[in-house]
Amino acid sequence: MIKKIQRILIELANIHRFVMRFYREVFMPPYEFKEIIRQCYEVGWKSLPLISLTGFITGVVFTNQSRPSLAEFGATSWLPALISIAIIRALAPLVTALIASGKVGSQIGAELGSMRVTEQIDAMEVSGTNPFKFLVVSRVLATTITIPILSFYTAGVGLIGAFLSVNQSENTSFTVYFDQVFEAVTYLDIFSLVLKAVVFGFTIGIVGCYQGYHSSKGTEGVGRAANWAVVMSMFLIFIEEILIVQIIQAMRA
C-alpha cells in the first residue's frame, strides 16, 4: 500500500517535471512551425469523421431525450435555448475531448512509445535534434490549438443535429431555431467552451506524450503507454471539467 502511494507520488513528480520542461522549451527557439502544422493536421483532420458523427448523434439524442420533460410543462418552445446552453457549455467540449483522448491520445502514446522502444528518440538526440522539442512540444501545441477548433465544430454539428429533430417535431424553421439558439448563449458560455477545450487539449497532448516518451522497453511498454494515455487523460478531463464549472459559476454570480 505504502509502495503504491510512493509510486503514484513519484509518477506525479515526474509529470510535473515533464510539464515544466514543456514550458521551458516551448518559448525557446528554434520553433518547429512545420511540424506543429503537420501535427495539427494529424490531430484535427483525422478525427473529423468520428467527431462529426458523434457530435451529430449527441445533438439528436439530447433533443429527443429532453423533449418529453419540457412537453409536460408545455414548454417545448424552450427546446432551442435549452439545447444551445447544454451543447455549448457542457457537451461540445466534453464530447470532443473524450473522443480525442481515445483517438489522438492513444495514438500519440503509441507513436512516441514505439519511437522510444526502437531508439528513434535516442537517434534524434545524437544527431543534434532536440527530440523533446521536435516531438513533444509540437504535439502538445497541436492538441491545444486543435481541440478548441474541433469543439466549436462539434457544437455546430450538434446544433444542426438538434435542429433536424426540432424541425421534424415542432416545425421550427431554420432562422427561428438559430435565433433562439444564439439568444440563449452568452459570452461567458463561449469563454467556458474555449477555456475547457484549451485545458482538455493540453491535457490530452501532454499525457499522451508523457506516457510515450517514458515508455518502458519492449512492445508491451508501447501498449501500456497507449492505454495509460487514454485512462489518465480521461480521468484528468473529468476532474478539470468539475473545477472549470465551479470557476465559471463563480464568475457568473
Partner 1 sequence: MLKSGGHIDRDTEVITVQNVSKSFGDLHVLRGVDLHLFKGENLVVLGRSGTGKSVLIKLISGLLKPDLGTIEVLGEHVDELSEKELQQLRLKIGFSFQNSALYDSMTVRENLEFPLVRNKRHLSRGEINHEVEDVLDAVGLLHTINQMPSELSGGQRKRIGIARTLILRPEIMLYDEPTAGLDPITCIEINGLINEVQEKYKTSSIIITHDLACAKSVGDRIVMLLDGKFEREGEFDQIFDTDDERVKPFYDYNFIT
What's the one-letter identity of residue 103?
K
Q: Does 123 bind partner 1 (CB under 8 A)?
A: yes
Phi, psi of 146 (to 5 degrees): -80, -35
Minimum distance of partner 1 from residue 25's CB (angstroms):
10
Question: Which cell is 99 given?
Answer: 473522443
* Amino acid present at 94: L
CB-CB contact of 158 with 86 (8 Å): no
At 74, is the secondary structure helix, strand, or coil? coil
**Inter-CA distances, 198 with 75, 218, 232, Å:** 35, 33, 17
**Contact stretch for partner 1 (CB under 8 A) within 43-51, 115-123, 138-146, 238-246:** 115-123
Indicate left, alpha or beta for 70 from its phi (over 0: left) and psi (-120 to 50: alpha). alpha
Kindly state the smallest distance separating residue 112's Cβ from partner 1, in Å: 11
Nearer to partner 1 among residue 25 and residue 220 (C-beta): 25
> Which of 35, 170 has the CB closer to partner 1?
35
Grid coordinates standing for 140?
Answer: 502538445
Residue 10 interacting with partner 1 (CB under 8 A): no
Interacting residue with partner 1 among 52, 130, 167, 169 (CB under 8 A)? 130
Q: Is 29 in the site for partner 1 (CB under 8 A)?
A: no
Pick the binder of partner 1 from 2, 5, 126, 250 (CB under 8 A). 126
List 29, 49, 68, 128, residue binding partner 1 (CB under 8 A)? 128
Reference 70, options 85, 80, 60, 84; nearest CA is: 80
Q: Candidates 92-100, 122-130, 160-168, 240-248 — which segment interacts with partner 1 by CB under 8 A?
A: 122-130
Interface size with partner 1, residues (CB under 8 A): 14
Which of the ranges 119-127, 138-146, 187-195, 206-214 carries the binding residues for partner 1, by CB under 8 A?
119-127
Task: Output the 3-class SS for 193-239.
Answer: HHHHHHHHHHHHHHHHHHHHHCCCCCHHHHHHHHHHHHHHHHHHHHH
Q: Does 216 participate in binding partner 1 (rule CB under 8 A)? A: no
Give the C-alpha separation, 203 to 70, whole Å: 36
Q: Least separation, in Å, of the C-beta of 135 and partner 1? A: 11
Note whether 239 binds partner 1 by CB under 8 A: no
Asked, as a colleague might, if the bond just before 68 is cis with ω within 30 of 0, I would say: no
List residues near partner 1 by CB under 8 A.
Answer: 111, 115, 118-120, 122-130
